[in-house]
Structure 1
Amino acid sequence: MDNDDFPAPAEGGSDPASPAPAPEVPMGQPMPETQRVPTLLPRMQAVASPPAGELRVSTLGSGLSFVGNARIDGSLTVAGEVQGNIELEGSGSGHVTITQSGTVVGDIRARNISVLGQTVGTLDASGGRVSLHDTASVSGRIRYTHLQVNGADLNAQLERVRPEGDGAAGSR
Structure 2
Amino acid sequence: MKVMTLDDHALFRAGLRMLLESMERSAEIFEAATVDEACSLALRHPDLAICLLDLELRGEYGLDALVRLKAAAPDIAAVVVSASTDVDIIRGCLEAGAMSFVPKSMPADFLKRAFETVLAGEVYLPQEILHLGSKSTARPTLSPRQADTLHGLARGLPTKSIARELGCPNTR
Query: What is the TM-score of this pair, normalised by structure 1?
Result: 0.32
Query: What is the TM-score of this pair, normalised by structure 2?
Result: 0.32
More helix by share: 2
Greater C-alpha radius of gyration: 1
